[in-house]
Amino acid sequence: MIRRIARVLPVPAAITNQGIINYNDWRDFNLVNKKSSLAGWLILRNLRDKYGLPVNSPDKILAIAFASDKDFNQAGLLRIKKIRELFKSADDLEKLSKYADEFSGVVYYDDKSAAEKFGPAILNLNNNQLSDTIFMDNGYYIAQIVARENGRLAVKYLFVGAKTLEQYLREEIAKIKIFVLAN
């Protein structure tokens, strides 16, 4: 009976403090999984909705969108913005390293490794040019190409950590309450 009604009306199958899970979503969910799997699925669904991402979008894209969200990562975003402002007067990343979580002097990367670590935009930088803020799933980079030698990039960078999607999920799953209305 519930299945027939659920085809026409959105019938709730579970109610949580993160939202309602309708019967059609509940039916597709593997009930063998524990509370944390259901809670994690619901939290990720809500975040994808918030960022306007499709349901099947890769978790990496969702994690970068989360790291970029000032609602969750205000402190990290303010720190990286301040570092960029200070760079205008300092002109050297090393002088600003005390404001970052990680500083790397010159490190050599091939093009593929540099693009994996900093994104493909790093390959378009000129020598001594500072990158825009590079948003990754675990934080923010500011990189500078020091030189290009023998097909390798000499890069300096600062890194400021962000609250990750995994950390947020663990915190929210621990707090979630689920009331099951259907079997």
pLDDT tens for each residue of 50-85 = 999 998 899 999 999 999 999 999 999 999 999 988
pLDDT of residue 32: 45
pLDDT in tens, 141-179: 999 999 988 889 999 999 999 999 999 999 998 887 766
pLDDT of residue 38: 77
* Per-residue CA distances from 126 to 12, 111, 119, 131, 147 (Å): 56, 14, 15, 9, 9
Rounded mean pLDDT of the chain?
84
* pTM confidence score: 0.75
Secondary structure of residue 131 in the 3-state scheme:
coil
Residues 6+ apart with CB under 8 A from 172: 18, 39, 43
Of 83-92, 99-108, 110-119, 132-141, the poorest mean pLDDT is in 83-92
pLDDT at 49 over 90: yes
pLDDT of residue 101: 93
pLDDT of residue 35: 65
pLDDT of residue 182: 56
| pLDDT band, residue 97 (cuts 50/70/90) | confident
- Residue (of 127, 148, 143) closest to 87 by Cα position: 143
What average pLDDT does range 82-95 have in this prediction?
A: 83
pLDDT at 37 over 80: no
Report the 3 state secondary structure along 38-64: HHHHHHHHHHHHHHCCCCCCCHHHHHH
- Residue 123 is classified by DSSP as G
